[in-house]
Amino acid sequence: MHYGIKVSKSGFDVTDRSKPRKISSKTRPDYIIYALSLPYLNGAYNQIQRYIYAISILEKSKTNGVIICLHEISTLFEDLDTVARYIDETGITHDLHTLIRVVRNHIRHDIRENFDVEDHKFKNQRNSILKIDPTLQTHIGFHKDSIKIGEIIISIEEIKNYLDWARKIIEQEIKKAKEMGYIKSF
């Protein structure tokens, strides 16, 4: 037996797709958005642990450590950005959302496909926000307690606090959806 997730299309019941259900004016309820963010929220918590482990490798082998740390923060900020986007869709914002997105895009785009592109509009904007020296393509530093991109330092504690904040919101909304009968089990 395969375990997984089923989400019905708007207007259909997930347990009996032959019977259309009354469509509400809201096309995608918030509880679905919150439920979909959970794998990325949990992934971000796991990535913090993987990053901390990667730091221990960095202390033994700088080259391997940097490669592994870069991969771990790339995945961490991908997960963080996904959580932030889902939460933004519900109308709730957080001060870190913009920074998370800028860091994610810098790692994903500026260190990959835009690496040697000198006059890329978005890359230059991100480098300015992150206060990266204009003579550098990137500048990322790894420490057990923080990540430094340009002159911006994001502490691991700050990331954990953000994830705890997001988890509380998500759990409250899912609990409400269960109480209202929108979610059977979770």
pLDDT average, residue stretch 93-119: 81
For the segment 12-50, what is each residue's pLDDT rounded down to a tens digit? Answer: 666 665 666 555 545 557 777 888 899 999 999 999 999
Q: Which residue has the tokens 């019941």?
A: 13
* 73, two tokens: 């923060």
Q: What is the pLDDT of residue 141?
A: 94
Return phi, psi of residue 130, to 5°. Answer: -80, -5
Structural domain spans, the chain: 30-179
Q: What is the pLDDT of residue 136?
A: 83
pLDDT average, residue stretch 112-116: 60
pTM of the model: 0.83
Question: Minimal CA–CA distance to 96: which of 159, 171, 30, 139?
Answer: 159
* 93, two tokens: 């914002």
Q: What is the pLDDT of residue 24?
A: 53
- Answer whether residue 98 shows pLDDT above 50: yes
Using alpha carbons only, give the angle 104, 152, 105 rounded to the nearest 5 degrees. Answer: 15
